[in-house]
Amino acid sequence: MTSPTLTSSRQLARRRSGIEAGRPVWEEPPTVFGRLSKPVVLALVALLVTFPLYVVVVTSLSSTEAVTRAGGLVVIPRELTIAAYVQLLSGGVVTRALLISTVITFVGTAFSLGLTVLAAYGLSRPGSLFHRPLLFVVLLTFLFGPGIIPSYLVVNALGLIDSYASLILPTAISAFNLIVMRSFFMGIPGELIDSARIDGAGEFAVLSRIVLPLSKAVVAVVGLFYAVGYWNAFFNAMLYLNDNNKWPLQMVLRTYIVQAQVLPTGAGGVTSGSGMGLSPAPSLAIKMAIVVIAVVPVLLVYPFIQRHFTKGVIIGAVKG
């Protein structure tokens, strides 16, 4: 219960701005059915999204007894333990895949973001040489995809099969991100850029000292989009990597969860023994822990992405 004074002051503020309880004066009051069904529907939708995540997290933290008693996935948490995570992260397939995914995500994001910033600026100066045909080259990629087979043949011809570069280079540039960033750069007042140029700044100096400091939000959003993309990428790894030892986390997730292959144990397996004196975690908890490890980075960066939605960076770009 909120205190009555707080409620009334809030109502006062609304009344002063001509709004009764947030609802415009001309609008009819909601029906009983609407008033009851709306929260139910909203809660149901929110539950549909969060419940599977909740079950997975709880199961990953459950002991053998808890899993046995529940007959599988655990809904009501009992006897929580981090044994599954200790086992997974003490060396083995998942530790290595996690490391690979992390490095690919960081290197790939830096590479993609860097090139996207450069090209977005290079194409954003009105009237510059060749900017129309070059922009056309970028835009045309929206209309058709290259096709799986020819892409494979090109990557093969470049000798990139079974290399980490094959996880980055073929899908390094998102034309969409490039256009979003370009339209943001074009919104920067030309006078600012011209005045810097009069002061003797070259294009690189203009980009790094004038344009980038003004574009932190869009750079952050595009960077996060690239990062999430690299973290979630699975297609390139499936197509171009034959060597299991180079698998990123999503491939491990696919093999042991979706295809439900048996988790190998021991040296070179998914887990290398039970670490730190904890009793060994049930294999279901280990599987769910792999799922959680794949989700957590996305959950960590998500609030930062979401914060920029409200600033309208993405929507504005989509509409423009």
Partner 1 sequence: MTTVVSGRRSTAPQAPKGGGAKRGGGKAGGANWRHRLRRDWPLLVMTLPVIVLLLAFHYIPTLGNVIAFQDYSPYTGIRDSEFIGLANFSRMFSEPAFWKAFFNTLSITLFQLVFYFPIPIAMALLMNSVLSPRLRTLFQGVVYLPHFFSWVLVVSLFQQMIGGAGLLAQTLRNHGYEAVDLMTKPDTFIVLVTAQSIWKDAGWGMIVFLAALSTINPALYEAAAADGANRWRRLWHITLPGLRPVIVLLLILRLGDALTVGFEQFILQRSAVGGGAAEVLDTYVYYQGLLVGDFGYGAAAGLFKGVVGLVLVLVANRFAHMVGEQGVYSRS
- Per CB under 8 A, which of residues 130..149 are in contact with partner 1? 130-132, 134, 137-138, 141, 143-149
Total binding residues toward partner 1, as defined by CB under 8 A: 101
What one-letter code names the amino acid at 257? I
From CA 9, how far away is CA 3, in angstroms rounded? 10
Give the residue with the Cβ less far from partner 1, 95 or 232.
232
φ, ψ dihedrals at 265, nearest 5° = -115, 175
Q: Are 274 and 181 in contact (CB under 8 A)?
A: no
The site map against partner 1 for 167-196 (x = CB under 8 A) is --xxxxx-x--x-----------x---x--
Residue 254 lies near partner 1 (rule: CB under 8 A)? yes
> Quick one: which of 12, 80, 118, 192 contacts partner 1 (CB under 8 A)?
118
Q: Which is nearer to partner 1, 15 or 38 (CB)?
A: 38
Task: Give which of 139, 167, 142, 140 is closest to 155, Cα–Cα.
Answer: 167
What residues have CB less than 8 Å from 50, skipping those under 6 apart? Answer: none
Identify which of residues 165 and 278 has a Cβ nearer to partner 1 in the complex.
165
- The DSSP letter of residue 248 is -
Neighbours of 284 (CB within 10 A): 19
DSSP structure string for 199-231: TT--HHHIIIIIIHHHTHHHHHHHHHHHHHHHH
Q: Phi and psi dihedrals of 71, rounded to 5?
A: 75, 25
Q: Which stretch binds partner 1 (CB under 8 A): 2-10, 43-51, 83-91, 215-223?
A: 43-51
288 sits near partner 1 (criterion: CB under 8 A) = yes
Neighbours of 282 (CB within 10 A): 21
Chain residues 44-103 in contact with partner 1, contact rule CB under 8 A: 45-46, 48-50, 52-53, 55-56, 70-73, 75
N-to-C CA span, the chain: 44
3-state secondary structure of 184: helix
Q: How far is the CB of 8 from partner 1 (least distance, A)?
A: 17
Per CB under 8 A, 244 contacts partner 1: no
Among 153, 192, 244, 266, binds partner 1 (CB under 8 A): 153
CB of 232 vs partner 1, minimal distance in Å: 3
CB 72, min distance to partner 1, A = 4
For the bound state, the minimum distance from the C-beta of residue 219 to partner 1, rounded and expressed in Å, comes to 15
